[in-house]
Amino acid sequence: AQRVTQPEKLLSVFKGAPVELKCNYSYSGSPELFWYVQYSRQRLQLLLRHISRESIKGFTADLNKGETSFHLKKPFAQEEDSAMYYCAQNNNAGNMLTFGGGTRLMVKP
Amino acid sequence: EADIYQTPRYLVIGTGKKITLECSQTMGHDKMYWYQQDPGMELHLIHYSYGVNSTEKGDLSSESTVSRIRTEHFPLTLESARPSHTSQYLCASTEGNTEAFFGQGTRLTVV
């Protein structure tokens, strides 16, 4: 079964510090990977997907097939980045979206 | 407006009652999902559907059942609610391999 692992439940950094939220996946095919974010009192929403290779709100994520990782990075964290972040993967058929356990990012002033 | 709706937002119910959590989307998406979000905020897939008359169980075993008679509607039913069912339930939909859209969630408390 496909599995997504986010080893850190909580990540606390100061404003302006670099951030890296770790994600490892287990699907042996060619997965489609995503990062979703849930701000306080808001719905879970897409932050970015690996196929787009884009930067959203200063965040980027690189797929490393050798390490089966898809870590989320931002060079300078902002207080408004505080939220729950979930890494997710689709199987090849795109019909089973599996999430990691989530990492709570707290950015302190 | 194209969206995905869940009702009710909050539900407190007694043990043994039958409940149905509603989920409707107006985006015409084929794929729909139910997730259970633990108090520790982990998300577990409990049911999904490829389209009308298709339902599958997810990674997390659940005593709930689902149905997909219409594309836009994917209700989840608990025949006999128990305190262990207390959780937040999130519904989502996607088209192909695109972004998943989530509802606001239903926070269920069984007393």
Q: Select the residue from B10, B34, B35, B43 to test the A interface by mutation, using most A Cβ atoms within 10 A.
A: B43
Measure CA B107 to chain center: 11
Question: Which whole number is the average pLDDT over A79-91?
Answer: 92
Q: What is the DSSP string of B36-70?
A: EE-TT--EEEEEEESSTT--EE-SS--S-EE--SB
In angstroms, the separation between the Cα of residue A15 and the nearest Cα of chain B is: 24
Query: Quick one: pLDDT band at residue A84, thresholds 50, 70, 90?
Result: very high
The whole-number pLDDT of residue A31 equals: 78
- The reply to whether residue B99 touches residue A49, judged by beta carbons under 8 angstroms, is yes
Query: Quick one: pLDDT band at residue A93, thresholds 50, 70, 90?
Result: low
- The reply to whether residue B99 touches residue A95, judged by beta carbons under 8 angstroms, is no
Task: Name the token pair of A54.
Answer: 């884009």
CA-nearest residue to A91 within chain B is B97
b/e burial code for range B12-39 (CB count within 10 A of at least 16 → b): ebeeeeebebebbbeeebbbbbbbbbee
The whole-number pLDDT of residue A50 equals: 84
The whole-number pLDDT of residue A54 equals: 82
- The reply to whether residue B102 touches residue A96, judged by beta carbons under 8 angstroms, is no
Phi, psi of A107 (to 5 degrees): -110, 115
From chain B, the residues in CB contact with A95 under 8 A are 31, 48, 50
Taking 3-state DSSP, the helix, strand and coil percentages for chain B, each rounded to the nearest 5, stand at 5, 50, 50
Q: Where is pLDDT greater, at B32 or A90? A: B32
Phi, psi of A79 (to 5 degrees): -60, -35
Residue ranges of chain B whose pLDDT lies below 50: none
Task: Name the token pair of A19.
Answer: 């951030």
- The reply to whether residue A94 touches residue B31, judged by beta carbons under 8 angstroms, is yes
Helix (H, G, I), strand (E, B) or coil at B31: strand
The whole-number pLDDT of residue B82 equals: 94
Question: Which whole number is the average pLDDT over A60-65?
Answer: 90
What confidence tens digit (pLDDT) does each residue in A5-47 have?
A: 999 999 999 999 999 999 999 876 777 899 999 998 899 999 9
The whole-number pLDDT of residue B21 equals: 97
- The reply to whether residue B92 touches residue A97, judged by beta carbons under 8 angstroms, is yes
- The reply to whether residue B97 touches residue A90, judged by beta carbons under 8 angstroms, is yes
Q: Which residues contact A84 (CB under 8 A, 6 or more apart)?
A: A37, A38, A102, A103, A104, A105, B41
Q: Where is pLDDT greater, at A36 or A96? A: A36
